[in-house]
Amino acid sequence: MTTLLRTEWLKMRKYNAFWWILGITALSYPGVNFIFYQAYKDLTNNPTQLGQYAKMGLGDPFSFPEVWHTAAFSSSIFVFIPAVIIIMFISNEYSFRTHRQNIIDGWSRNQFISSKLMDVLIITLIITLLYIIFCLVCGFANPTAIHNNAWSKSYYIGLFALQTFAQLSLAFLVGFLIRKAFLALGVFLFYFVILENIFIGIMYRYDISFRDYLPVEISDKLIPPPAFFGSINPDRYQKALDQVNLHILLTILLTAVVWGICYRINNRRDLK
């Protein structure tokens, strides 16, 4: 494993695009959450009646313990940014024939995919760390942040990490199958941003429950909308909370299938 990690590091170290996109990721996750936080503060601090109503309706979504939930939900929207890194990683292996060189140097085919699995895990850990840092800074910065139950919703750390890993695994699968960076990125973004949402909209219109089991939606259901949505539609919010445990299992199963497909195809694919 140490050898795999060291080899992957040597590939990343001089890959400028990786550092640029990683930098964008490092700025975008806390940056977007801060924008949401600032908009919330501007709205609720408004001395008008609208500000008072907003304060009552929204509660304290950026204070402990609720910030764990709020930030996980808002951060989950932007997983397509690190997905660019994942797709570029695997596509470059085929563009520069480094996958074949690894095998020539003595790696097994399974070791090659395992090294990519570690890449996805590392990116997931980096993103999760950014999310944790924002939650801690934002939570302690609020005057109502010090609670005995400040960590009561910290389980969203695990849910956010699982969701991120699952969706980056889907991005990896697309890049692994297509092998052309721009084409794979276009296919993934089209499906992630547009196509699946169209399917969900159509199924919602005709009340088809299968919409909850589409590839991205399965892991999206791990993190329901923030608690203040419960005051808008309590029944729908409670239903979303009740579905989380099921979707944890489905997400793990789907992610295992994704990597199982990758291992199987890699063992059968020609080294071209």
- pLDDT tens for residues 24-55? 888 888 888 888 888 777 777 766 665 565 56
Residue-wise burial string across 50-83, b where 16 or more C-beta atoms lie within 10 A, e elsewhere? eeeebeeebbbbbbbbbbbbbbbbbbbebbebbb
Q: Is the pLDDT confidence value at 272 over 50?
A: yes
pLDDT at 223: 94
The per-residue pLDDT for 145 is 47
DSSP label of 179 = -
Query: What phi and psi values does residue 28 have, to the nearest 5 degrees?
Result: -70, -40
- With beta carbons less than 8 A apart as the criterion, state whether 188 and 174 touch: yes
pTM of the model: 0.91
- How far apart are the C-alpha atoms of 256 and 267, rounded to whole Å? 17
Segment 249-255 shows an average pLDDT of 97
- Name which of 112, 133, 77, 89 is nearest 3 in CA terms: 112
For the segment 94-102, the average pLDDT, to the nearest whole number, is 78
Going by C-alpha positions, the residue among 75, 77, 98, 87 that lies closest to residue 17 is 87
Confidence of residue 5 (pLDDT cuts 50, 70, 90): confident
Quick one: tokens of 256?
């295992």
- Torsional sign, CA 73, 32, 132, 249: positive
- In the Cβ-directed half-sphere of 191, how many Cα atoms lie within 13 Å? 14
- In tens, the pLDDT along 105-154 reads 778 889 999 999 999 999 999 999 999 999 999 888 876 645 668 888 99
Q: Are 169 and 88 in contact (CB under 8 A)?
A: no
Q: Which whole number is the average pLDDT over 223-242?
A: 78
